[in-house]
């Protein structure tokens, strides 16, 4: 049995679904169910006895202690995090509390549990911390992609909080011997992505006839990773990763944001044409850039391929088509997550940006 934190969010839910599709090892799924945590992501597991869902906070020491004592997991996979840069700009405190303080409490509780295990179980235990490429800062055009030895240079409250959590995980390995693994991934996309992020926001707005807001000139470059490829990489690191090591996970897909929006529009033109036969590109609206917007991220994923034999199965072309089709096929899911709070957030974030 493994304990997954943040397993009702976008990446966490995909991981839980893929994990249980790959093997019969049970999952304890601990999620606070904030705005991005959604039990509808896990509806396929509603009657599956291998999936034990618990609503709660990683910072709740008593709850985590109880779960560890009751279920004796052989590993903890930590997805729990506040993860949206724009939200961190408007309200950084939540990011400090969850990503730093929450990770600290989780590490302390797990360390106490691990210390009390029998020697064989202690040696087999793993704590896998899921992080982001944003901790490395921004790259200029032509600079080498982020390797695992790149200096941390976070530029937003979100990336700074994740960098701090990474350092805590590293420290608990070197100070206490806790058997940790850390992964730093590039931009994920795919099913169950909350529609505040670029790709699902473009799909949802396009279908609703709304503007497609593109920050600045749209030339911010990211490496894009299909979420199910990320899940397979995490399984690989959990099974074969070297203790204390960091593994960068990327899709080898550097794309400018505007190119992503154009691709989404082209696919929608093919799969769900507008009634007036015009392209969805006509809905693109350039808006004022967000503060401190990093210009380029790129992941060098050679280490995980060379040492552990992992590489992505999807190209961007195959992954983005699957993603757009999923949103077309799951309009009820989209409408359900668009709560009043979500609409207020979008209005707050983009109010006054039109230009």
- pLDDT score of 355 more than 60: no
Helix or strand or coil: residue 318?
helix
- pLDDT score of 345 more than 70: no
CATH architecture entry for 2-194+225-253+293-314: 3-Layer(aba) Sandwich (3.40)
**pLDDT score recorded for residue 342:** 44
List phi, psi (to 5°) of 131.
-125, -160
133 is an active site residue: yes
The predicted model gives 145-153 an average pLDDT of: 97
- pLDDT score of 352 more than 80: no
Cβ 134 vs Cβ 158: under 8 Å: yes
280 is an active site residue: no
Cβ 96 vs Cβ 165: under 8 Å: no
What does pTM read for this prediction? 0.93
**pLDDT score recorded for residue 34:** 85
- Over residues 270-290, the pLDDT tens digits come to 999 999 999 999 999 999 998
- pLDDT score of 75 more than 60: yes
**pLDDT score recorded for residue 37:** 85
Cα–Cα distance for residue pair 271/320, rounded to 1 Å: 13
The predicted model gives 164-183 an average pLDDT of: 98
pLDDT band for position 339 (50/70/90)? low
Helix or strand or coil: residue 349?
helix
Contacts of 334 (CB under 8 A, 6+ apart): 195, 200, 204, 327
Q: Which of 31, 82, 133, 294 is catalytic?
A: 133
Helix or strand or coil: residue 259?
helix
What is the chain's alpha carbon radius of gyration, rounded to the nearest angstrom? Answer: 20
- Over residues 82-128, the pLDDT tens digits come to 877 888 888 999 999 999 999 999 999 999 999 999 999 999 999 99
Cβ 7 vs Cβ 41: under 8 Å: no
**pLDDT score recorded for residue 347:** 63
Q: Which of 113, 158, 172, 192 is catalytic?
A: 158
196 is an active site residue: no
- Over residues 2-29, the pLDDT tens digits come to 999 999 999 999 999 999 999 999 999 9
Q: Which of 134, 196, 254, 314 is catalytic?
A: 134
Residues in the chain: 355
- pLDDT score of 262 more than 90: yes
- Sign of the four-CA dihedral 320, 324, 330, 331: positive
């Amino acid at each position: 049995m493994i304990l997954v934190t943040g397993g009702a969010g976008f990446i966490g839910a995909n991981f839980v679904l893929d994990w249980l599709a790959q093997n019969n090892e049970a999952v304890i799924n601990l999620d606070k169910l904030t705005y991005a945590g959604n039990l509808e992501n896990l509806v396929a597991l509603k009657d599956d006895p291998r999936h034990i869902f618990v609503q709660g906070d990683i910072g709740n020491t008593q709850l985590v202690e109880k779960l560890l004592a009751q279920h004796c997991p052989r590993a903890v996979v930590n997805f729990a995090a506040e993860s949206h840069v724009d939200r961190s700009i408007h309200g950084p405190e939540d990011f400090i509390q969850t990503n730093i303080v929450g990770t600290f409490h989780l590490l302390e509780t797990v360390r106490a549990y691990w210390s009390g295990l029998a020697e064989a179980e202690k040696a087999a235990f793993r704590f896998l911390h899921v992080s982001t490429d944003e901790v490395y800062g921004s790259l200029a055009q032509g600079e080498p992609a982020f390797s695992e030895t790149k200096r941390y240079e976070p530029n937003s409250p979100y990336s700074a909080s994740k960098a701090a959590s990474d350092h805590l995980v590293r420290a608990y390995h070197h100070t206490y011997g806790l058997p940790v693994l850390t992964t730093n991934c590039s931009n994920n996309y795919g099913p169950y992505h909350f529609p505040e992020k670029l790709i699902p926001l473009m799909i949802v707005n396009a279908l609703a006839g709304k503007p497609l807001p593109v920050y600045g000139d749209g030339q911010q470059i990211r490496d894009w990773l299909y979420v199910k490829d990320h899940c397979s990489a995490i399984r690989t690191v959990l099974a074969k990763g070297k203790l204390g090591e960091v593994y960068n996970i990327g899709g080898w897909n550097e794309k400018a944001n505007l190119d992503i929006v154009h691709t989404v529009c082209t696919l929608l033109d093919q799969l769900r044409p507008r009634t007036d036969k015009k392209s969805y590109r006509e809905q693109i609206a350039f808006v004022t850039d967000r503060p401190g917007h990093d210009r380029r991220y790129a992941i060098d994923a050679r280490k995980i391929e060379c040492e552990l034999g992992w590489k992505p199965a999807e190209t961007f072309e195959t992954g983005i088509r699957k993603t757009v089709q999923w949103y077309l096929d799951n309009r009820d899911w989209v409408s359900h997550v668009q709560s009043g709070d979500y609409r207020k957030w979008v209005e707050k974030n983009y109010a006054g940006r039109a230009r």
